[in-house]
């Protein structure tokens, strides 16, 4: 759900669905607080006064991925009769009252559209929060507030600096898997410590096999599932252990999927201790 302010509305939706993997499972509602549609004299479709060219996203609108919504002018009360509170000016009281009503309208409309709800708005205040999750999972975007004359200097120093994988100098091995990796996130790159392994939805019986050219003494292993952006599996996200001396040396290690999954598989760390 988007409530536009500091970003150009005509470009904001495209930013959200660029690279979106599961478009059939997502819906984007673009909330326009002052929507006024008019016909273009040249027959170019409908345009509203905030420069949103609806014809710019024909496939997204037709498929239902993108919806543009706006409340009736009669949805709002008489803002001139609002009582001033918290020492705010009349303009600020009107702004925050209208913002609350806008958010309520958007959430009410979207309540039966999906299981999860994420709202993107450039003006979320975080300055009063006494506790902050580190590293940040969400980042404030934009400088200009929807309140005229107000600037938002909100940017977390550690945002975007999270480590998505942990690399190790693992022993040489021949790698194979029944899982199909996504883009460049291959098992080979993960094993070499160059990337994380990201595979399409696994099913029961899928496997990852590490075969060593010569049997090697392995004291332990660690496989970490998920990263800061993706939820993992295993026990608390980690499968690790030691290998008994009686089993040494080791010729191969294999991970096996025991049940079908609804989400993709991700290994952010592979460590073979020798």
Question: Who wins on pLDDT, 70 or 134?
Answer: 70
Calculate mean pLDDT across residues 249-273: 89
Instruction: Look over the chain and give the mean of its residue pLDDT values, rounded to a whole number.
Output: 76
Contacts of 124 (CB under 8 A, 6+ apart): 140
State the Cα–Cα distance between residues 76 and 81, nearest whole angstrom.
12
Q: Note the pLDDT of residue 48.
A: 47
Q: Note the pLDDT of residue 41.
A: 46
State the Cα–Cα distance between residues 46 and 265, nearest whole angstrom.
43
Q: Tens digits of per-residue pLDDT, 72-124? A: 888 888 888 888 888 888 888 888 888 889 888 888 888 888 787 777 765 55
Do residues 220 and 243 touch, judged by C-beta distance below 8 A?
A: yes
State the Cα–Cα distance between residues 223 and 234, nearest whole angstrom.
9
What does the block give as tokens for 101?
């009503």
The stretches of 52-89 forming alpha helices (DSSP H) are 58-63
* Confidence band, pLDDT 50/70/90 cuts, at residue 8: very low
Residue 152 pLDDT > 70: no
Q: Is the dihedral of CA 44, 50, 56, 57 positive or negative?
A: negative
Prediction pTM value: 0.46
Residue ranges per domain, the chain?
2-121, 174-273
The stretches of the chain forming alpha helices (DSSP H) are 12-17, 58-63, 90-110, 187-191
Q: Residue 199's CB: how many other CB atoms inside 10 A?
A: 22
Residue 23 pLDDT > 70: no
Ramachandran angles phi, psi of 252, nearest 5°: -160, 155
In angstroms, what is the C-alpha Rg of the chain? 26
Q: Residue 120's CB: how many other CB atoms inside 10 A?
A: 17
DSSP type of residue 21: S
* Confidence band, pLDDT 50/70/90 cuts, at residue 252: very high
Q: Give the three-state DSSP class for 42.
A: coil
Q: Give the three-state DSSP class for 88.
A: coil
CATH superfamily of 174-273: Galactose-binding domain-like (2.60.120.260)
* Confidence band, pLDDT 50/70/90 cuts, at residue 27: confident
Q: Give the three-state DSSP class for 86.
A: coil
What does the block give as tokens for 114?
């999906």
């Amino acid at each position: 759900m988007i409530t536009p302010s500091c970003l150009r509305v005509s470009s904001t939706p495209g930013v959200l669905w660029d690279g979106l993997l599961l478009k059939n499972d997502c819906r984007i509602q673009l909330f326009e607080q002052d929507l006024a549609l008019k016909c273009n004299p040249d027959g170019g479709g409908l345009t509203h006064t905030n420069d949103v060219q609806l014809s710019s996203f024909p496939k997204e609108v037709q498929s239902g991925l993108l919806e543009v919504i706006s409340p009736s002018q009669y949805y709002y009360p008489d803002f001139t009769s609002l009582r001033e509170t918290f020492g705010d000016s009349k303009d600020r009281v009107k702004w925050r009252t209208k913002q609350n009503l806008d958010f309520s309208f958007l959430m009410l409309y979207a309540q039966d559209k999906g299981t999860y709800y994420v709202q993107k708005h450039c003006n979320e205040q975080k300055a009063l929060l006494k506790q902050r999750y580190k590293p940040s999972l969400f980042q404030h975007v934009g400088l200009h507030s929807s309140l005229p004359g107000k600037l938002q200097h909100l940017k977390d120093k550690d945002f975007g600096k999270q480590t998505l994988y942990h690399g190790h100098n693992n022993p040489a091995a021949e790698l194979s898997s029944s899982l199909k990796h996504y883009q460049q996130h291959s098992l080979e790159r993960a094993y070499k410590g160059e990337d994380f392994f990201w595979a399409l939805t696994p099913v029961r019986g899928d496997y990852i096999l590490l075969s060593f050219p010569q049997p090697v003494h392995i004291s332990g292993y660690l496989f970490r599932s998920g990263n800061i952006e993706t939820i993992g599996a295993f026990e608390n996200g980690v499968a690790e252990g030691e290998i008994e001396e009686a089993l040494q040396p080791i010729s191969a290690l294999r991970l096996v999927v025991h049940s079908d999954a609804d989400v993709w598989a991700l290994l952010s760390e592979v460590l073979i201790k020798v």
